[in-house]
Structure 1
Amino acid sequence: MIQALGLTSNSRKDLPPAVDDVSFDARAGHLTALLGAPGSGRTTVLRLMLELQQGRGITYFRGRPLHRIAHPSREVGVLLGDVPGHPARSVRGHLRMLCAAAGVPVRRADEVLEVVGLVSLRDERLGTLSRAMDRRLGLGCALLSDPHTLVLDDPADGLSSRENRWLYGVLRAHATQGGTVLFTVGDPKEAARTADRIVTLEKGRVVADQDAEDFARTRLRPRVAVRTPHAARLATLLAKEARTKRRSVEVVREDGNRLYVYGSTCADIGETAFRHGVLVHQLADETGDMGASAAQRFVDAESAAATGPLGAPSPIGSHASGTTPAAEPTTGAPANQPTDTAAPDAQETAATPELSAPARAESPPGHYTPSVTQNSPTTPTSEDTPVASAARATSPTPGSGTEDARSLPEAAKRTPNALPSLPPPISVRSAPSPLRPLRYEVRRAAGIGTGFLTGAAVLVVSALTAVVLARIGHTPQARLLAAWPRELPLPPAALGAGLLGALAFGDEFRHPALAADRGTVPRRLGLLVAKLLVAAATALALAVLTVGCDAEVLYLVYGRELSRVPADSLSLGASWIGLVVGCAWAGVLAAGTFRSTTAGLAAVVAVPVVVVPLVQKAWEGPSVRNAAGFPMRLREVLLSQWPFGGERYLTGAVRVLAQPVGGALALSLSALFCAYLLTALRGRVR
């Protein structure tokens, strides 16, 4: 069950909030539709419920707010817009990657493919899917963790009638199994046809909260659409005959030559037009939309009829007012037809007193008691009277947003009509980290061909560069095997590893499948460690393959002389691997910090271009001492012998760091890691 209490968005530039004090319930086992025209605030309501937008209010999912749920994806399945996955990723690969993020078995991806009917398209790329198939995949992503609650924003947008029937059939099956389904819709007829309960929004406020039967009875009425060049004359004739025959007929004149007639039939209207010689171009039966205010008028009238002027029950048929809207010419309206007595804004103002600035300032923060107002009316029953509703709103209920009466100030206890406190603020929180980060990162990196194409391009460019350098001559053997000319800041293998590292975070921000509803990637230490491990393994493989391919190509072209292994291969190999892995890590950290692939690759190139000259100047300064004999002095300090010749490895590491590129790379990695931690901590504090 979903309980939304006092959802209010923050206003901007002295404009009224897009959503103002929206409260409603979505019951388990039912389909609840959030109905509203474009601009009514229905999407904003969902974003406030899911804590994606700042505002005020609170939403409980089975008694707990979203930020108190350990694994939100297992409780709430969300579909907001299109599937934001990488267009080159396959349907099955995308779901398998999300399985690792949600911590569910990988076989769940195949089960969901069968549920949404995408088994035959499991190898298709996301970029080639049609609109209908994309909505199916989005629903599959929402169902992946088998959540209890589904929150969908206009899931049938752009779908055919056949696809609509399939979609709502799946949602109905989920509700039948005890789940809660909340979706937004803009068509009143579709809402009445598919939902069990309909919450109507107008200008950011709840104007009606009804069952489907009441909604169809009050807002959707059968009517006859008439198009004639003599609309005014025909309307007068129909009104005259209705008065003569004492029939309840309502005629609504639209702009131009169109009429809508309620309470009559095509045959009666056609006979009237024929008798008086009125030309008719169109005559058709329709189901008319009376507008959101019609449902509001009906609920207000039902509430007034059920309680009476002084709270006593009164017959349902007797309403307090019988005036008709001035904007709609009405003839012979029935006595029990709900009509408007005042403007909706005036009704809400009279029903709900506004909090003044001093009263809001004196309200205790963190306490919110929802009040029963006519912003979200419901049809009263024997157990849902205003007194009972007010008692439930002020009494402590487990799992609800109400506070204990003891937490209210003394003045509120003594005053029966005390104003409620402001609802609690909504803070936008970052998405949780994937539950299986290493498995997620491996599937993310291997799910698209970018890494494989980049590696192949690096091997080809490196081999050609080595052949050209050998042809020119004057290149040391170590640089020849690495295909690293002196004119370039970095070899092709290092640049390729840096690009792959930058893509590890860059693709996350371009196609945020991990946090699709938030549009960003959580900066978590577990995710960073997984990306660093995968980037290091990829860079290591690229470094070994590059040297092996270069040596093989040199042997085939020039013979064994240019493909021999250098004498100090151990230290050179350590330096080479450290360079390639360091460039990959620099790309990962920079892209994760600055949220851009370009920034990650720029940080890799900046190491030899900018940082190396600075490090060289620092090493050449008079204050820097020589580090020779460091292993011997370290052995004397520890008073022990290094086993297995460990001083050689320590000496090699010191030599790597003593090189300009090695020292600059170590310095850059340290600075980028600190910047990443600072941005992650700043995001958690907010």
Structure 2
Amino acid sequence: MLQAIGLTSTSRPSTPPLVDDLTFEARPGNVTALLGHPGSGKTTALRLMLELEPGRGVTYFRGRPLHRIAHPGREVGVLLGDVPGNPSRTVRNQLRMLCAAAGVPSARADAMLEVVGIAGLRDQRLGSLSLGMERRVALASALLADPCTLLLDEPSAGLSPRERGWLHGLLRGHASLGGAVLFTTSDAKEAARNADRVITIEAGRLIADQDAADFTRTRLRPRVAVRTPHAARLADVLGREARAAQRAVEIVAESGNRLSVYGSNCAEVGEAAFRHGVLVHQLADETGDAGSGSAAVPVPPARTAAGPGAAAEAAAAADPEGAPGFSRQARPRRPDSAVRRVGGPLRPVRYELLRVFGTATPVLTAALVVVASVLTALALARAGHTPQNRLLAAWPELLPLPPAALGAGLLGALAFGEEYRYPALAADRGTVPRRMGLLAAKLGVCAALALLLGALAVAADAAALAFVFDGGPLRAPARWFSPAASWAGLLIGCAWAGVLASGVFRSATAGLAAVLAVPVMVVPLVRRVLEGSSAYPVTGLAPRLRGLTWVQWLPEADRVLLGALRVMAQPVGTALVLSLTVLLCAYGFTGLRSRVRW
């Protein structure tokens, strides 16, 4: 049972809320349509239910709000928007990544590709798929964890009649096993044809909550669809017989040789055509819309109008199992799924690794960083007067950060920013679930990538300098540990700043901007603060700390501690520590604020 109670979006000054005190329910075993014109608040209502939109109200999924469900992705399957994922990711990699997020085996991805009929496209990139194939990928993503509830925003928009029939056949199969299905639509005929219950909203408020039969009877008009090569003659015959019997019959001339007859039935139309010898190719009962345009057929008093060819559309959509890729055996099993779960602390790490290496972004970033670093190092060596540490790092005085640090920050910014752009975790309390496990996985993976990127850049710089200048600018370092620790700290700090900033500001661009803000804005402020003499000298701090602890550490640990303190005492190190502290607090604050519900 899905229950939405008092959903109200946050309104702007002088404008009403997009959703205003909306209350309804979607029952298990039923397909429910949320009907409304474009701009009526359907998508906003779904986002409020998923806690993606600020506002008031609460939604219960089988008696629990979303933030009280341990694994929301296993309870709710979501289709929001037209973008199923990063266009450069393959279909199979996208689903395997989502399997790791939902905690189900990777083999489930191949099974769902069979369900939606695109197993042959598993190695195709998402950006090369048609709209219908993209919608199938999105449905496979929603069904991966075999959820009880499906929330779908305009799932049939832009699809052909045959694909619509396949789609609604799949949704009907899920509901027949006890699941709850809620989809939004702006087509009243689609809602009446495919839903068990229709909820109509207008300007964000509930207008009607009806069974499909009541909705059809009160909001739509039944009609008889006729296809004949003698449409004008049949219209004249039906009009004369209606006048003779004093019955109100409306005849609508459709495109080509089709007629829609309102106020009659198949038996009456068929008998009239037989009596007058009119050849009929099609005769079927349909559900029409609430009104039509006007293109007169001169048969008074019956009025005629030109409208869409719904007869052909209904006939094509009436056979969902004839659509390509439909599988009767592979439908979802049941609400309380028997799909094996894959848990444990490594689940978010597995998801993050699949997310990172599912595209060519890390490889391209590394290649660009290495090329830029080598060119910068060669230019610095030719100019001369550059310390060896900065020469190997390719960090001239004019640049705020070396190329490797910028690359680490970019990879960190993409860690969260890509998920906000392509909402892979829409059901898990928003596009990015506020869980420490996922944050720790992102920080750990980004730190490892940053260190690897830094090592590649230094090795490439050293090799290029040795090859071009025959080792002239390089010499064996007397003390390498402190510069290496500083280099590692700079790379990890930039990567973490990108991760946290993109998580706070919900944008990869904002994450990269936060990385650049550290040397450009924060470092000058720190330098002003550190201009005075320090009241707490670092000398002798390690022995004092050793004396305060019960456990005695090795003497070599003193050098590690002093090296870390010296790095933090530098303006860049202090600025990074301050920035990371602020971003971590902001990330925690936004996570706590998102849990507050009215």
Paired position in structure 1 for 2:124: 124
- Which residue of 243, 248, 260 maps to 1:240? 243
C-alpha separation between the residues in 1 aligned to 2:532 and 2:138? Answer: 60
Structure 1 position 78, deviation (Å) = 2.2
Partner residue of 1:252 out of 250, 253, 264: 250
Query: Which of residues 383, 403, 411 in structure 2 aligns to 1:492?
Result: 403
Equivalent residue number for residue 263 of structure 2: 262
Residue 222 of structure 2 aligns with an amino acid whose one-letter code is L
Whether the aligned pair in 1 keeps the contact of 2:366 and 2:453 (CA below 8 Å) is yes
Pairing of 1:127-142 with structure 2 (within 5 A) = 127-142=127-142
Deviation at 1:586, TM superposition (A): 2.0
- The corresponding residue for 1:315 is none
Q: CA deviation at 1:164?
A: 2.8
* AA aligned opposite 1:154: E
The answer for the alignment partner of 1:205 in structure 2 is 207
Displacement, 1:636? Answer: 5.8
**How does 1:387-536 map onto structure 2 within 5 Å?**
436-515=347-426, 520-536=431-447
The SS at the match of 2:595 is: helix
- What residue in structure 2 maps to residue 387 of structure 1? none
- Judged with a 3 Å threshold, the aligned counterparts in structure 2 of structure 1 residues 38 and 545 are, in CA distance, closer, same or farther, namely closer
87-96 or 201-210, which deviates more: 201-210
**What is the rounded CA distance, in whole Å, between the counterparts of 2:118 and 2:269 in structure 1?**
46
* Residue type of the alignment partner of 2:211: D
Measured against aligned partners, the alpha-carbon deviations of 1:62-81 in whole angstroms (never above 9, x if no partner) come to 45454543323212222233
Question: CA shift at 1:565, angstroms?
Answer: 2.8
The reply to whether residue 96 of structure 1 matches residue 96 of structure 2 is yes
Report the residue type matching 1:137 in the other structure: V
For residues 13-162 of structure 1, the aligned pairs below 5 Å read 23=24, 25-28=26-29, 30-34=30-34, 43=43, 46-47=46-47, 50=50, 60-162=60-162
Distance (whole Å) between structure 1 residues aligned to residue 10 and residue 513 of structure 2: 38
- C-alpha distance after superposition, 1:245-283 (max 9, x if no partner): xxxx32237799998453242773798999xxxxxxx99
Q: Secondary structure at the match of 2:92?
A: helix
2:249 is matched by which residue type in structure 1? V
Q: Which amino acid aligns with 1:144?
A: L
Q: Which residue of 2 aligns with 1:653?
A: 564
- 1:324-360 deviation line (CA, Å, top 9, x unaligned): xxxx9799xxxxxxxxxxxxxxxxxxxxxxxxxxxxx
* Deviation for aligned residue 1:136: 0.5
Cα deviation digits, residues 41-85 of structure 1 (max 9, x gap): 655665565555677776554454545433232122222332442
Give structure 2 stretches of 5+ with no counterpart.
292-299, 304-344
Across the aligned residues of Structure 1 and Structure 2, the Cα RMSD in angstroms comes to 4.2
Alignment match, 2:589: 678
How many Å apart are 1:673 and its aligned residue? 2.3
Letter in 2 for 1:648: R
Please tell me whether the aligned partners of residues 50 and 430 of structure 2 are also in contact (alpha carbons under 8 angstroms): no
Q: Please, which of 198, 221, 226 is the counterpart of residue 223 of structure 2?
A: 221
Structure 1 segment 184-203 matched on structure 2, within 5 A: 184-187=184-187, 190-191=190-191, 193-195=193-195, 197-199=196-198, 201=200, 203=202
Find 1:548's aligned residue among 448, 459, 471: 459
Counterpart Cα distance in 2 of 1:444 and 1:131: 23
Q: Which residue of 2 aligns with 1:366?
A: none
Distance in structure 2 (CA, Å) of the matches to 1:466 and 1:552: 11
Paired position in structure 1 for 2:512: 601
Return closer, same or farther for 1:220/1:67 CA change in 2, 3 Å cut-off.
Answer: farther
Could you tell me which residue of structure 2 aligns to residue 389 of structure 1? Answer: none
**Deviation of the 1:198 alpha carbon:** 3.7
In the TM superposition, what are the counterparts of 1:3-18 in structure 2 within 5 Å?
A: none
Displacement after TM superposition at 1:653 (Å): 1.9
Aligned to 2:88, what secondary structure does the other structure show? Answer: coil
Partner of 2:249, secondary structure, is strand
Structure 2 distance, partners of 1:234, 1:455, is 77
Instruction: Determine the structure 2 residue equivalent to 1:164.
Output: 164
What's the CA shift for 1:185?
4.6
How far apart, in 1, do the equivalents of 2:18 and 2:405 lie? Answer: 52
User: Partners of 1:641 and 1:2 in 2: how far apart?
Assistant: 58
Structure 1 letter corresponding to 2:122: R
Q: CA deviation at 1:574?
A: 1.2
Deviation at 1:584, TM superposition (A): 1.6
CA distance 1:478–1:128, shift in 2 (3 Å): same
Residue type at the aligned position of 1:206: A
CA positional deviation for 1:116: 1.3
**SS at 1:512 equivalent:** coil
Alpha-carbon distance in 2 for matches of 1:21, 1:488: 54
Look up the match of 1:611.
522
For 1:178 and 1:435, the matched residues in 2 are separated by: 32
**Cα 1:152–1:505, aligned 2, differ >3 Å: closer, same or farther?**
closer
Once the 2 structures are TM-superposed, how far is the Cα of residue 453 of structure 1 from its aligned partner? 0.6
- Other-structure match for 2:308: none
For the residue of structure 2 that corresponds to 1:156, the secondary structure is coil
Residue 354 of structure 1: aligned partner:
none
- Contact 2:380 2:394 survives alignment (8 Å): yes
Q: State whether residues 92 and 122 of structure 1, in contact with CA within 8 Å, keep that contact through their aligned partners in structure 2.
A: yes
Corresponding letter in the other structure for 1:80: L
- In the TM superposition, what is the alpha-carbon distance from 1:463 to its structure 2 partner? 1.4
Instruction: Tell me how far 1:442 sits from its aligned partner.
Output: 1.7
Q: Which residue identity is paired with 1:242?
A: A
2:576 aligns with one of 648, 661, 665: 665
What per-residue deviation string (whole Å, max 9, x for no partner) do you get for residues 590-630 of structure 1?
A: 22223333332233223333333333333331464543333
Tell me the TM-score normalized by structure 1. Answer: 0.67
Q: 1:7, 1:55 within 8 Å by CA — same for their partners in 2?
A: yes
Cα deviation for residue 99 of structure 1 reads 1.5
Moved more, 5-14 or 608-617: 5-14
Contact 2:504 2:583 in 1 (8 A): yes
**Greater mean alpha carbon deviation, residues 535-544 or residues 59-68:** 59-68
Relative CO higher for 1 or 2, CA cutoff 8 Å, sep ≥ 6?
A: 2
1:175 aligns with 2:175: yes
Q: Aligned pair in 2 of structure 1 residues 262, 550: CA closer, same or farther (>3 Å)?
A: same
Q: CA–CA distance in 1 between the matches of 2:547 and 2:7?
A: 69
Deviations 1:77-107 (A, max 9, x none): 2223324422222211111221222122222
CA–CA distance in 2 between the matches of 1:107 and 1:259? 49
8 Å Cα contact 2:490/2:573 also seen in 1: yes
Shift of 1:666: 2.3
Q: CA deviation at 1:174?
A: 2.6
Once the two structures are superposed, residues 460-505 of structure 1 have per-residue CA deviations (whole angstroms, 9 ceiling, x without a partner) of 1111222222222222222222222223222211121122222222
The question of whether the paired residues in 2 share the 8 Å contact of 1:202 and 1:292 is answered with: no
Give the aligned residue type for 1:76: V
User: What is the letter of the counterpart of residue 123 of structure 2?
Assistant: D
Provide the C-alpha distance between the structure 1 equivalents of 2:532 and 2:148, rounded to a whole number of angstroms: 66
> Looking at CA atoms only, which structure, 1 or 2, has the larger radius of gyration?
1
Which residue identity does 1:268 align to in structure 2? A
1:558 aligned partner: 469
Return the offset for 1:285: 5.2
AA aligned opposite 1:265: V
Paired residues for 1:284-323 under 5 Å: 287=285, 289=287
Name the CA distance, whole Å, in 1 between partners of 2:381 and 2:508.
Answer: 34
**Counterpart in the other structure of 1:377:** none
- Which amino acid in structure 2 is aligned with residue 78 of structure 1? V
**8 Å CA contact retained: 2:99, 2:105:** yes
Contact 1:41 1:201 in 2 (8 A): no
